[in-house]
Amino acid sequence: MGPKIIIHGGFFSESGTNSEIKLAKQEALTEIVKKSYSYLESHSALDTSVYAVSLLEDCELFNAGIGSQIQSDGKIRLSAGLMDGSSGKFSGVINIQDVKNPIQIAEKLISYDDRVLSGSGALDFARKKGFEYFNPETKQRREEYEKKLNASAGLGTVGCVALDKKGRIAAATSTGGKGFEIPGRVSDSATVAGNYANQFAGISCTGVGEDIVTAGLSVKIVTRVIDGMSLKEATLKSFEELKVIDGFAGIIGISASGEIFHLDSHPYMVWASFDQELSVFP
């Protein structure tokens, strides 16, 4: 089986009806998934997930890393989660400030016993590991903050699920939050609800973090794959249960059999995949 990869850039609702921004996001996803697939051909699923999400964090069109949403106190706090399906290890950073690529800090943590750090502890760790000060704020985000244009913003997260040539699966997710949230609010991205992988499947989520955590969405879908469901069947059943709370979520996933699947409850999630051929939506 050849390598496979799928990435997402959150929901289009963040950019409203601006067709130019939508096109720009599609083009960015296309470029990033191509680069990431090429990288995957000679690297592990874990390394590729970090590589792909780093590229997404570096693109200010998305709400992760550069261009993240600003919280109610005027500060940007970033969260990211990473899971290696082979080792079963999860790592993450929650509400870290003044860094460029939170997913790379999560990668450093995966070899430690204490693998999920928050706030100042996460920042201290990052500085000790050589991650220098970086302000991820953009002019557009500051203008949105000052005008309090938050009604349709904040649903954008980025993520990647990769399956490498050796059959290993990894998932990585990163977010700048929903915008104007209470400082200290924790999203799903650095939890197993929003990012999960093992030897059977990997999932990365986007949407309303509270809904995703309430549903335990990623780990629930993967558990159903373990129990014998296809990735599609497991996702559809889990999204039916999500309707009970009127949950807002989107997922991308890959199973060990090579099945790639994506689904969202409130279109349109933007995604791109590469499995011998390129697919981009919408």
Binding residues for substrate: 185-188, 206-209
* Among 169, 144, 132, residue whose Cα is nearest residue 49: 169
Tell me if residue 235 is catalytic.
no
In DSSP notation, 225-252 reads HHTT--HHHHHHHHHHHHGGGT--EEEE
Strand ranges (DSSP E) for the chain? 4-11, 78-84, 89-96, 116-118, 157-163, 169-175, 195-197, 201-207, 249-255, 260-264, 269-275, 277-281
**Tokens matching residue 223:** 């558990």
Query: Which has the closest alpha carbon to 57: 161, 176, 217, 215?
Result: 176
Residue of 157, 173, 191, 235 marked active site? 157
Q: Provide CB contacts within 8 A for 4, sequence distance 6+.
A: 162, 163, 254, 258, 260, 273, 274, 275
Place of tokens 């938050």: 150
- Catalytic residues, which ones? 157
